[in-house]
């Protein structure tokens, strides 16, 4: 009887630890992206909870605003952030297939490649191409 309860206790503890570790990993990779983000270099995103977004790019004192759609999947490793629905400019008819990594609760780094197929999606972050965005209030 004692051996059975000890084995059951160890199995329960092991299962609980596994669930905890998986849950922590899931939580650390999945954060809320809705809101206003800036790279502090003239680019801004405003992600709405419904999959719509605005990409604002500052040129001098003027802004170009691109209404777009986004798909965010934080269950992938690295997380996926795809931007599409461009109606003008060099991305018209294309999708920006991206990867995202949270660097804190209020910042992430993003890298994307444009194309018509997700096969162009970067697999790793290239420091020369990666943009860092910060949550704005």
* Residue 70 predicted with pLDDT over 50: yes
| Residue 133, CA distances (Å) to 75, 107, 126, 130 in order | 20, 6, 15, 10
CB 76 within 8 A of CB 96: no
pLDDT of residue 119: 97
pLDDT of residue 137: 83
CB 37 within 8 A of CB 55: no
- Model confidence over 103-115: pLDDT tens digits? 999 999 999 999 9
For 99, the enclosing helix (H) or strand (E) is strand 95-104
DSSP string, 105-131: TTEEEEEEEEESSGGGS-SS--TTT-E
Task: Report residue 17 as tokens.
Answer: 């630890």
The residue written with tokens 């096969």 in the block is 119
The answer for 125, left when phi > 0, alpha when psi is -120 to 50, beta otherwise, is: beta
pLDDT of residue 89: 87
Nearest to 133 by CA among 38, 33, 41: 38
For 14, the enclosing helix (H) or strand (E) is helix 2-29
pLDDT of residue 109: 97
- Model confidence over 19-64: pLDDT tens digits? 443 444 444 579 999 999 999 999 999 999 999 999 999 988 898 9
- Model confidence over 77-101: pLDDT tens digits? 999 999 999 998 899 999 999 999 9
Q: How many residues does the chain have?
A: 137
- Model confidence over 58-68: pLDDT tens digits? 988 898 999 99
């Amino acid at each position: 009887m004692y051996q059975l309860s000890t084995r059951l206790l160890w199995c329960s503890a092991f299962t609980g630890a596994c669930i905890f570790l998986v849950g922590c990993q899931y939580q650390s990779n999945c954060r809320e992206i809705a809101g206003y983000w800036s790279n502090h270099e003239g680019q801004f995103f405003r992600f709405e909870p419904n999959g719509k977004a605005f990409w604002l790019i500052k040129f001098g004192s003027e802004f170009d605003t691109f209404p777009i759609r986004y798909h965010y999947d934080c269950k992938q490793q690295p997380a996926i952030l795809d931007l599409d629905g461009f109606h003008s400019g060099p991305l018209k008819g294309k999708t920006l297939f991206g990867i995202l990594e949270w660097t804190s609760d209020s910042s992430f780094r993003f890298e994307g490649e444009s194309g018509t197929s997700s096969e162009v999606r970067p697999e790793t972050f290239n420091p020369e191409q990666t943009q860092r965005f910060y949550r704005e209030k």
